[in-house]
A and B are shown apart, each in its own frame.
Chain A
Amino acid sequence: MKPFRKIHSRVVPLDRANVDTDAIIPKQFLKSIRRTGFGPYLFDEWRYQDRGEPDMDCSNRPLNQDFVLNQPVYRNAEVLLARENFGCGSSREHAPWALADYGFRAIIAPSFADIFYNNCFKNGVLPIILDSVTVDRLFHECKPGYTLTVDLAEQSIVTHFGETIHFDIDPARKHRLLNGLDDIALTLRHAEAIKAYEAKRVSEAHWLFVDLK
């Protein structure tokens, strides 16, 4: 996994609450068996005026010019500013894959849906929770040209105007994201403990270990 340390970037303000994963990446793109290539279809139904299909060449598709992602001033932004309950709906990891593939590295919102929040950390995307008053203020500040610096080690955001905002993050998640660690390898360090747990459970509740044939 790509580590996340510090970024300085433009910010895209997506001023909608309850942005669901169907909006982030519509279902037809979930048919892919790969982890990459979802970026061009991020927010597909909001971003384009036609109906997107997998493997479509997006370079000539009619753009919805009103949609914030299509405004040239926000090109190459790595930070997305969002409203509450961002990422609600399905568990599809294609949502953070699409955001990461597009180039987003951090998302700031007052709240995230649980599964989406968790999925972000598996893909080098940092979801930052700030109180809604602060997020509201950032939306007001966020005019074209606005930038932020996000520093994970310091757990800080420095705004365009030099203000420092602290954010909280679980220390284990921070450590894994800062170092881009492989979660499976970390868990497998506990292989003996897992085997011991299984041995105990087989004697207590053997029906949990039935062969599904």
Chain B
Amino acid sequence: MTGITLYDKLWNEHLVCVEPDGSALIYIDRQLVHEVTSPQAFEGLRLAGRKPWRISANLAVVDHNVPTTDRNLGIADAVSRLQVETLDSNCAEFGITEFGIADPRQGIVHVIGPEQGAILPGMTVVCGDSHTSTHGAFGALAFGIGTSEVEHVLATQCLVQRKAKNMLILVDGQTEQEVTAKDIALAIIGKIGTAGGTGYSIEFGGDAVRALSMEGRMTLCNMAIEGGARAGLVGVDETTIDYVRGRAFAPQGVAFEQAAAIWRELRSDADAAFDVVIEIDAATIKPQVTWGTSPEMTLPVNALVPDPEQESDPVKKESMARALLYMDLKPGAHITDIRIDKVFVGSCTNGRIEDLRAAAEIVRGKKKAASVKQVLIVPGSGLVKQQAEEEGLDRIFKDAGFEWRDPGCSMCLAMNADRLEPGERCASTSNRNFEGRQGYGGRTHLVSPAMAAAAAIYGHFVDISALAEKSPRAPTNPASSNGHQNKPKLHRRAKPSVAASAKPKPAAKSSEQTRQKQKSAGNTSASKPQQEKGRKKVETV
């Protein structure tokens, strides 16, 4: 008998019943709620005279519309303000816990959930936001839903679902030091395409995934949706357990150890059958830059802008030509010659402490290029911001001429005042480079935090691997998977207050040591299921 995939285990465990027509009712453990996709759901409840099924399953936060500067002045845009106030009043009316704009725990929904321990291994997690896939990093089944389903979960704590197929993406070997989870994610999407994962749940495995911190795994799973998969997954190991330990809403003490024993089983069986297996050699992945208007339009930073004339598929050729026109790029140009106007570091993809540290490492002691109009550094949450300030990262950014902002979704999708103007070109650590995504007529290049920071300093994209050779630098902070050092001080259940002591972060170890440690911590046998039996299709990249 073949083994079971992690996705199938999570599915089976949450099955409430199956309808005669074959559709399954799945129980939802946690719903995250934000202001943009919930007002119509609450209104639906009211109109039908329904109450939330289990109030404490929901955690709400305002993030998309909030200003990242001058918060004391309130939200200038009346329409945005109404949406934020509507979430406040809906949560008050229905008794749902909400981190309002003044709460120090406020931040991007996909940052604050894990930070608070509101996301635990083995959970089913939904949110009216496609980047809910982020939480699969915890061995949780997490996916984005529409507003009708937000209402459905509020009213019933369940969803009618169809089982997805199983895809395994194995990233084996070791990445170069400058290659981050963001580069791995973009390289994968470049390979499978933005529809490659449609209909699948993608489990990420292999040495390079095991070596990632929880922040890195969240970045990777966050981008699963950009590869078309509603859910991304990483099996549980000690990195996962260490991250969760001590978080506000996680079990404590003996209960934690009991839970952890169960969580350690949340991995695909060694002989689990996947519908598709894709293998990627980590050593071949280079720092990535997207050149077009879809996340699959990505290339290594040292590559040239592609030529649509070389593409044989007419639909793809047309898409490429349209993208180059929108991006105002010429085929054959060096990506490192692309000059940028603005830089955005933040978002649910790359707005965590490790991301800010990686950017700061590049920036330390340097100045923003004069040609760059604006660099926004937007922490993913109030607690990330506080942690970064305790580490002095804010000083590094401010000294370089960057703007140090308050937490929110900000210029990832420009629903607040942070946006590109028509024609402006941005190096962005966010997740989508669609036309107009960061502002009407704006041009987005997706990159890692280190690549964005380097672009801010040089005014154009640079190959940070080459940079490192020229001037050796300290490796980025390796402590992130070790749990405690990395946690913002306010994650305990205690009523939030202003931070306690500024504890200096531990001295950085060499990245080699870190890799060794993380490798041995991760369960390598589980990380690389021996799915020979179940393989239908194996691609080696």
Contacts and interface: CB of A to CB of B under 8 A. Distances in A.
A16 B250 contact: no
B40 A210 contact: no
B152 A184 contact: yes
Interface stretch (A2-10, A69-77, A83-91): A83-91
A198 B40 CA distance: 27
A182 to B, nearest CB: 8
Contacts of A115: 130, 143-146, 230
A28 to B, nearest CB: 7
A113 B129 CA distance: 14
A194 B228 contact: no
B440 A30 contact: no
Nearest to A213: B97
Interface of B: 16-17, 19, 21-23, 25, 27, 29, 36-37, 39-40, 43, 48, 50, 53-54, 56, 58-59, 64-65, 77, 79-80, 82-83, 86, 97, 118, 120, 122-123, 128-130, 132, 143-149, 151-152, 155-158, 160, 162, 194-195, 198-199, 228-230, 249-251, 255, 259, 262, 294, 315-316, 318-319, 322, 413-415, 422, 432, 434-437, 440-441
A13 B80 CA distance: 34
Main secondary structure of the interface of B (DSSP, over half): loop
27 contacts: A15-B318, A18-B194, A20-B434, A27-B413, A27-B415, A30-B415, A31-B77, A31-B80, A31-B415, A33-B83, A35-B40, A54-B79, A88-B228, A89-B130, A90-B432, A93-B146, A112-B198, A113-B198, A115-B146, A119-B146, A172-B23, A175-B21, A184-B50, A188-B156, A194-B53, A208-B120, A210-B251
Given A85-B198, A114-B198, A22 B432 contact: yes
A161 interface: no
A213 B151 CA distance: 22
6 closest Cβ contacts across the A-B interface?
A: A93-B146, A122-B148, A33-B39, A119-B146, A91-B144, A85-B195
Contacts of B152: 183-184, 187
A11 to B, nearest CB: 19
A213 to B, nearest CB: 6
A145 interface: no
Contact of B43 (A26, A33, A91): A33
Contacts of A122: 146, 148-149
Contacts of A114: 198-199, 228-230
Nearest to B130: A91
B83 A88 contact: no
Interface of A: 15-18, 20, 22-23, 26-28, 30-35, 45, 51, 54-55, 83-85, 88-93, 96, 111-115, 118-119, 122-123, 170-172, 175, 183-184, 186-188, 190-191, 193-194, 197-198, 201, 205-213
B129 A90 contact: yes
B50 A45 contact: no
A20 to B, nearest CB: 5
Contacts of A35: 40, 43, 147
B277 to A, nearest CB: 20
A170 B162 contact: yes
A188 B27 CA distance: 13
A17 B292 CA distance: 14
Contacts of B27: 194, 197-198, 201
Contacts of A194: 16, 25, 27, 53, 156-158
Most buried by A among B48, B160, B441: B160
Contacts of B83: 31-33
Given A33-B86, A184-B50, A27 B155 contact: no
B430 to A, nearest CB: 12
Nearest to B154: A184
Contacts of B59: 212
Contacts of A54: 79
B198 A207 contact: no
* Max chain B C-beta neighbours (<10 A), residue from A91, A188, A201: A91
Residue with the highest number of chain A CB atoms closer than 10 Å, among B48, B50, B316, B436: B436
B16 A193 contact: yes
Given A89-B434, A190-B25, 17 more contacts: A18-B195, A27-B415, A28-B415, A32-B79, A51-B440, A88-B228, A96-B146, A112-B198, A114-B229, A115-B143, A123-B148, A171-B22, A184-B151, A193-B25, A198-B27, A198-B157, A211-B56
Contact of A184 (B48, B58, B65, B145): B48
Between B148, B315, B413, the greatest number of chain A beta carbons within 10 A of the residue's beta carbon is seen for B148
B276 to A, nearest CB: 16
A163 B338 CA distance: 51
Contacts of B132: 91
Nearest to A30: B36
B16 A172 contact: no
A31 B118 CA distance: 27
Contacts of B255: 206-207
Contact of A16 (B123, B249, B319): B319
Contacts of B21: 171-172, 175
Contacts of B65: 31
Contacts of A28: 415
Nearest to B252: A207
Contact of B120 (A55, A172, A201, A207): A207
A15 B317 CA distance: 13
